[in-house]
Amino acid sequence: VLFIEVLFSSVAHDDAAVAELWSELRTSCGSFFGESEAEAQQALVYLRQAHDAQLDARHADAESLAKSAARALVRRTEHVSELEAVCEALKMCGALRECVEFALA
């Protein structure tokens, strides 16, 4: 799981690269990288984008992206290796309710 997270974090700022990596993993490693893993990694990409938006003072964008990420991650906590870091990022972006829901999932 951590290796996949690192791969996606390395291309998180390039939507085309994320899509290409996602497609390649689904094609080459379908039994290892299924739909639930893909959904979790896409949500983590949204969370990284939310973090960047927050740092750029785009608070509304950050909160919206964080909430989208949290909705997907609540269903996929088993695919997240850094649960505490996800909660911290959600809080920082203003998605407090979603942070609590994620922590309780």
43-81 pLDDT, tens digit per residue, is 888 898 999 999 999 999 999 999 999 999 998 888 788
Domain count, the chain: 1
What type of residue sits at position 103?
A: A
Q: Which two tokens stand for residue 32?
A: 């290892």
- Angle, helix 35-55 to helix 59-74, in steps of 10 degrees: 160
Q: How confident is the model at residue 1 (pLDDT cuts 50, 70, 90)?
A: low
pLDDT digits (tens, 9 = 90+) for 36-45: 888 888 888 8
Question: Once rounded to an integer, what is the mean pLDDT over residues 10-18?
Answer: 77
The boundaries of the domain holding residue 12 are 2-104
Angstrom distance (rounded) from CA 87 to CA 35: 23
Angstrom distance (rounded) from CA 30 to CA 35: 9
Q: Is the pLDDT of residue 2 over 70?
A: no
Q: Which two tokens stand for residue 42?
A: 């896409």
pLDDT on residue 96? 95
